[in-house]
A and B are shown apart, each in its own frame.
Chain A
Amino acid sequence: MAATAAIAGLGLTDVGKVYGRSATDFAAEAVRLAAADAGLAITDLDGLLVSPGTKGSPKLSLQKVLGLRDLRLLAEIHALGASPAAMIAAAAQAISSGEATAIACVFADAPLREKGSSREAFGTQRSLPSGFASYHLGIGAITPNLFYAMAARRHFETYGTTSEQLGAIAVGQRGWAAHNPIAQFTKPITLADHQSSPLIADPLHLLDCCLVSNGGAAVIVTSAERARELAQPPVDILGWGQAHPGQIMRQGSNFGLRTGAAVAGPAALRMAGVSVADVDLLELYDSYTFTVLVTLEDYGFCAKGEGGAFVSDGKLGPDGSLPCNTGGGQLSSYYLTGFTPIVEAVVQGRGQAGARQVDKKDVIMVSGSGGVLEHHATLVLSGASA
Chain B
Amino acid sequence: MNDTATWPPMRRDAKSAEFFEAASRGELAIKKCTDCGRSLAPEAMVCTDCGGSVPAWTSASGAGTLITWTTVHKAPNPVFAPMVPYTVGVVELAEGPWLYARITGEPRAGAALRAEFVHPAEGESYPTWVVTSGQ
Tell me if B97 and A140 are in contact (CB < 8 A): no
> Is B35 close to A, CB under 8 A?
no
What is the chain B residue whose CB lies nearest that of A149? B70
Instruction: Digitize A225-259: 1 where CB-to-B-CB distance is under 8 Å, 0 elsewhere.
Output: 00000000000000000000000111101011000
What is the chain A residue whose CB lies nearest that of B84? A140
Among A143-165, those with CB < 8 Å from B are 143, 145-146, 149-151, 153-154, 157-158
Output the least CB separation between A154 and chain B (Å).
4
Question: A134 vs B125: C-alpha distance in the bound complex, in angstroms?
Answer: 12
Instruction: List chain B residues, Cβ under 8 A from A250.
Output: 41, 48, 92, 96-98
> Is A2 close to B, CB under 8 A?
no
Instruction: Digitize B78-116: 1 where CB-to-A-CB distance is under 8 Å, 0 elsewhere.
Output: 011001001011101000111011100000010000000
**Given that A131-B11, A154-B68, A250-B98 are known contacts, is A138 also in contact with B126, CB under 8 Å in the complex?**
yes
Instruction: List chain B residues, Cβ under 8 A from A135.
Output: 10, 16, 19, 126
Tell me if B10 and A138 are in contact (CB < 8 A): yes
Tell me if A151 and B76 are in contact (CB < 8 A): no
Instruction: List chain B residues, Cβ under 8 A from A141.
Output: 88, 100-102
Tell me if B72 and A138 are in contact (CB < 8 A): no
Instruction: Digitize A338-359: 1 where CB-to-B-CB distance is under 8 Å, 0 elsewhere.
Output: 0000000000000000000000
**Given that A138-B9, A140-B102, A150-B90 are known contacts, is A202 also in contact with B16, CB under 8 Å in the complex?**
no
Question: A331 vs B7: C-alpha distance in the bound complex, in angstroms?
Answer: 31
Output the least CB separation between A149 and chain B (Å).
4
> Is A66 close to B, CB under 8 A?
no
What is the chain A residue whose CB lies nearest that of B13? A131
Q: Which B residues are within 8 Å of any A CB, using their own CB? A: 7-13, 15-16, 19, 41-43, 48, 67-74, 76-77, 79-80, 83, 86, 88-90, 92, 96-98, 100-102, 109, 123-124, 126, 128
A-B contact pairs, 17 of them (CB 8 A): A119-B74, A123-B77, A128-B8, A134-B124, A137-B10, A138-B7, A140-B7, A141-B88, A143-B76, A143-B77, A153-B68, A154-B67, A199-B71, A202-B72, A248-B48, A255-B68, A255-B90
Q: Which A residues are within 8 Å of any B CB, using their own CB? A: 119, 123-125, 128-132, 134-143, 145-146, 149-151, 153-154, 157-158, 198-204, 248-251, 253, 255-256
